Amino acid sequence: MCLTEALELYLKLKGQGKDQVFFRTAKRNIRYVTSLLGDKPLSAYSSKEAGQFRDWLSEKGMGVNTVKRVFSTIRSIINICITEMGLECSNAFSKTFMPSVFNGEGRQPIPQKKYRNNKSRMSSVR
């Protein structure tokens, strides 16, 4: 069973009563995988490719938390397919290392000047 077929099964089983965001997110995340790695049988994906996929998402400008959400969706889709179809394979996306930040990513502090301006504006609102 290939990844897009796994997506169809996932949406059929888990999609009842879900809003459009659920469907759009699952489809988009699978499209990310297939655009980089191709639409292959689930057993054909390797942990090395999952790492390459993580790095590709980071290079696209996604933060760690966004990448974790993408991986969570992909893992769920593959896991439900493995379970429902009785497949004898592992999920290559299940143990991919996620750093705490990518390339110095993180929230930057608010510059003092902006902080003071916002603070004075907020105090005048009261």
User: 49 pLDDT exceeds 90?
Assistant: yes
Helix axes 64-85, 20-37, angle to 10 degrees: 90
Distance CA 126, CA 124 (A): 6
| pLDDT tens-place string over residues 61-74 | 898 999 999 999 99
Q: Which CATH class is domain 3-125?
A: mainly alpha
Give the pLDDT band of residue 120 (cuts 50, 70, 90). low
Distance CA 94, CA 90 (A): 8
Write down the pLDDT at residue 112: 75
| pLDDT tens-place string over residues 52-108 | 999 999 999 898 999 999 999 999 999 999 999 999 999 999 999 998 876 655 555
Closest CA to 76 of 10, 9, 32, 120: 10
Residues 112-117: what's their mean pLDDT? 70
Q: What percent of the chain has pLDDT over 90?
A: 75
Distance CA 112, CA 37 (A): 45
